[in-house]
Amino acid sequence: MAWNLDNDRPIYAQIVERIQLQIVSGIYKPGDKLPSVRELAAVAGVNPNTMQKAFGELERSGLIITQRTSGRIVTENEHMITEIKKELAKEHVERFLEKMRELGFEKKEIMALLESDK
């Protein structure tokens, strides 16, 4: 369906990752209003309770904020968004390095490859 989620991993976790990515990449900007749980559940093709759980997780992390009157917005704390962006980048780098080591590359060789890619 619309969001191409894997059914063999918890769906709420995948939604969290996806919304995080949309925030750090600027698709949702600081202070932007987010769609309602129901709207987003229908777009994603997931159970509304699952979407609710994902939103709960994002609220706990502080990335999105619930306002009594106007629904949910993206945090205006840009420092936090940058931090999450760095964290995600770190995860990607680690995964990349692991793969490269599996292929038998040493750090120097990896660096050389990255340089030559420019």
Partner 1 sequence: MSSLVECRNVTKCYSNGRPAVYNLNLTLEKGHIIGLLGPNGSGKTTLIKMINGLLKPTNGEVLVNGILPGPETKARISYLPERTYLEAQRTVKDIVDFFGDFYEDFRKDRAYAMLDALHIEPTARLKNLSKGTKEKVQLILVMSRDAELYILDEPIAGVDPAARDYILRTIIANFNPAATLLICTHLISDIESILDEVVFIRDGQITLQTSVENIREQQGKSVDQYFREVFAC
Q: Which residues bind partner 1 (CB under 8 A)?
A: 1-2, 5-12, 38, 41-43, 45-50, 53
Q: To the nearest whole angstrom, how small is the minimum distance from the Cβ of residue 45 to partner 1?
A: 6
Residue 15 token pair: 């939604």
CB 20 within 8 A of CB 84: yes
C-alpha atoms less than 13 angstroms from C-alpha of 31 in its C-beta half-sphere: 2
> Is the CB of 3 or the CB of 96 nearer to partner 1?
3
> Is the CB of 6 or the CB of 117 nearer to partner 1?
6
C-alpha atoms less than 13 angstroms from C-alpha of 114 in its C-beta half-sphere: 11
Q: To the nearest whole angstrom, how small is the minimum distance from the Cβ of residue 57 to partner 1?
A: 12
Kindly report the backbone phi and psi dihedral angles of residue 74, in degrees, each rounded to the nearest multiple of 5, phi listed first: -75, 140
Other CB atoms within a 10 A radius of the CB of residue 29 amount to 11
Q: To the nearest whole angstrom, how small is the minimum distance from the Cβ of residue 59 to partner 1?
A: 18
> Is the CB of 41 or the CB of 74 nearer to partner 1?
41
Q: To the nearest whole angstrom, how small is the minimum distance from the Cβ of residue 28 to partner 1?
A: 21
